[in-house]
Structure 1
Amino acid sequence: MKNYFLYNSIVFLFITSFQIISSQNNEIKLSITDSIYSETLNESKNIWVQLPENYNPESNEMYPVVYLLDGFSLRNNLETVYNNYLGHYLPDMILIGVSNSKNRMRDLTTSQIKMRRGAEMNKATGGADKFTQFIEKELIPYVDSKFHTTPYRTLIGHSYGGLFTVNILINHAHLFNNYIAIDPSLDWDNQKLLKQAKTKLSTESFKGKSLFVSLAAEQLHMWNEKVTIDNIMEDTSEFSLFGRSIIEFSNFAAAQKQNGLNFSWKVYPEDLHGTVPLPSMMDGMVFLFNWFQFKNPPKYNNPETSVEELEKLLNEQEKIYTENFGYAFPPMIEELFIGYGYMNMQMGDNKKAKLFFEKGVKYYPNSPNSYESMADYYESLEEYDKALKYANKAFEISGSDYHKERIETFKAKN
């Protein structure tokens, strides 16, 4: 057990050092704020883009994309979850936040209504179809044209955004693979979408799609605190319809095993509508990418695991990723290949170190970091001619002074 934690610590230290070096050498702007004029909506929509730390516009590496509605107000929640679970639970992805501060109710609601909870509506409603057209015909093509994206997409929405997210799954499922509907307003228009969803979920196929739904249960009735998760379905007032609608939808969706939808939902008894996004994104993203979670990490850390067994594990991991993404995908992120390589080099196991470093070059051929690690490997063996070869390759890609200095160092030792 002590060895397990020792090796984990070494991998973590090497990955941390690698990320610091990479960020120092990386002059690419990873956080971008932009605006798109929509012909469909006849107005501009602000977006933000967060690119992966290893993003390189000159490489051929492609990334899945997460789209977050109400993106500016919920950005910290998504980035906290993503940064915390990146690597073992989540792949490198491009995060996109879409502003809904202007015409939010119009864009995210699925039908027009005049009254809601006994009050007259004085805002435009029912514009979800047009907002969907904006996403499909303008936003996604814009993002795909500017960044290295794959067609594997996730959509996250809260409240009205959750209503919109469920609507996309039910009526436009081709747009996204994954959906997180956080405390969705499924009571909208006397449960109109809920009723439609029941019909479609029971008759259509949703194979290859995943949905996570959450319910904040701290306050399930606007005026009556005696209404709880245990008795809410007995209440018939309009003021508990919000919670009852989510429960009704979730219970029905969970029962439709024949449609192929990968579905889960969770009640958060300690959370309010405004606090539930963070835990929902955490549990939702882990659920959606459950298949991505790294298999058998102790075997990679165990010094007794053979090179042949490591090869087999990597091949199996690659197969899982490729089947779920629908396209070829590396069995590890680059940082892990390099981290495990340095760990084994530190432990004196050169065969394993070489395996991980070579895999890094194989799967990330356009990254200077993989070639740099190979140079370090051969330097440790005092094979400076080979070290020079990989240092030259790293410099060809990066053009950095650091790699230029490494070339001169190896030339002097040859």
Structure 2
Amino acid sequence: MGIFKLLLLVCAFMGVQPEAVADNINKPISMQFGKQVIVKSKVLRENRNIIIHLPSGYAKTEKNYPVLYLLDGERHLYHSVIASELLNKAKQIPELIIVAVTNNEGMRQRDLNTESEKFTLYLSREVITYVDNNYRTTGSNTLFGHSLAGFYTVDLLANAALFFENYIAASPPLEGDDIELYSKIVAPTNAHEVSKKTLYFTLGSKKEEGEDVANAMNNFVKLLGESSPQGFDWHYQFLDGETHITTSYLTLFEGIRYVFKK
């Protein structure tokens, strides 16, 4: 089945007119799925783009909405919008504001690894602050990341858990960091904050993800199972047969369903 036919079927289920799909095919991403905003970052000393998708009824209500933040947002905005709207129609999650935090070319490794503390300041002080100041938000924030961004997501929970309520990580490569991250999560100085959080995380097969990555994940899960802060809601899902790339789609879909189950 071609991607256009598949999109038509999804939109039919969601109540979107086919003409709207056809009209949007050649439009930029910001015009199809959200509004593009340029953030003049003082922390990173560069301009950064975010894309903000609002629920369909946002303008007609005075409601406040929880926010889903997507790392590598340019990769994950489309399927996240579709997943959230399908699950909302099924009454399994609330309506969400979705914020796609995009990458500047060549800066992903810097932001999510070598200078991740700066990126965290950008995310917390500039992106979240902008969204909260300009849109009706509940203050309940969820972070999604895949691969290196998935590692950043788990690392943020371990080091600075206060910024988000829910953390969703697809295929985080915990190789060599599993014990350190676990130790920070259960540390007495962090346990009180972590006890209020939810973590949903996944990994594909050992063949697809690599033996060292799979072993580190299994050890991390084992440690959490033996001892984790009381009230800390975590769930690990092994995605047998999935590749490193395809875990992102299933993890986002099942992850938002899990973290909003309450």
TM-score range, shorter chain: 0.7 to 0.9
Distance 1:276 1:221 in 2: 10
Distance 1:221 1:180 in 2: 18
Of structures 1 and 2, the larger Rg is shown by: 1
Contact 1:157 1:181 in 2 (8 A): yes
Structure 1 residue corresponding to 2:227, chosen from 227, 249, 256: 256
Matched, 1:81 2:98: no
TM-score, length basis structure 2: 0.81
Distance 2:226 2:48 in 1: 38
| Equivalent position of 1:100 in the other structure | 103
Contact 2:209 2:243 in 1 (8 A): no
Structure 1's unaligned 5+ residue stretches are 1-15, 24-28, 110-125, 223-239, 292-414
| Equivalent position of 2:174 in the other structure | 186
Cα deviation 1:48-74 (Å, max 9, x = unaligned) = 111001102x85321110000001111
| Equivalent position of 2:186 in the other structure | 201
Structure 2 residue corresponding to 1:219, chosen from 187, 207, 216: 207
Residue 47 of structure 1: how far off its partner (Å): 1.1
TM-score, length basis structure 1: 0.52
Residue 89 of structure 1: how far off its partner (Å): 0.6
SS of the aligned residue for 1:89 comes to coil
Contact 2:209 2:244 in 1 (8 A): no
CA RMSD of aligned residues (A): 2.4
| Equivalent position of 2:10 in the other structure | none
Residue 221 of structure 1: how far off its partner (Å): 6.2
Name the CA shift for 1:215/1:137 in 2 (closer, same or farther; >3 Å): same
| Equivalent position of 1:267 in the other structure | 238
Name the CA shift for 1:261/1:42 in 2 (closer, same or farther; >3 Å): same
Residue 198 of structure 1: how far off its partner (Å): 2.3
Structure 2's unaligned 5+ residue stretches are 1-13, 21-30
Residue 220 of structure 1: how far off its partner (Å): 4.3
Partner letter of residue 112 of structure 2? L
Q: How does 1:110-125 map to 2 (within 5 A)?
A: none
Matched, 1:243 2:214: yes
Query: Identity of paired residues, percent?
Result: 26
Name the CA shift for 1:65/1:195 in 2 (closer, same or farther; >3 Å): same
Name the CA shift for 1:194/1:138 in 2 (closer, same or farther; >3 Å): farther
Residue 202 of structure 1: how far off its partner (Å): 5.1
| Equivalent position of 1:301 in the other structure | none
Q: How does 1:145-156 map to 2 (within 5 A)?
A: 145-156=133-144
Q: How does 1:385-400 map to 2 (within 5 A)?
A: none
Contact 1:75 1:97 in 2 (8 A): yes
Distance 1:196 1:186 in 2: 9
The total of aligned residue pairs comes to 232
| Equivalent position of 1:118 in the other structure | none
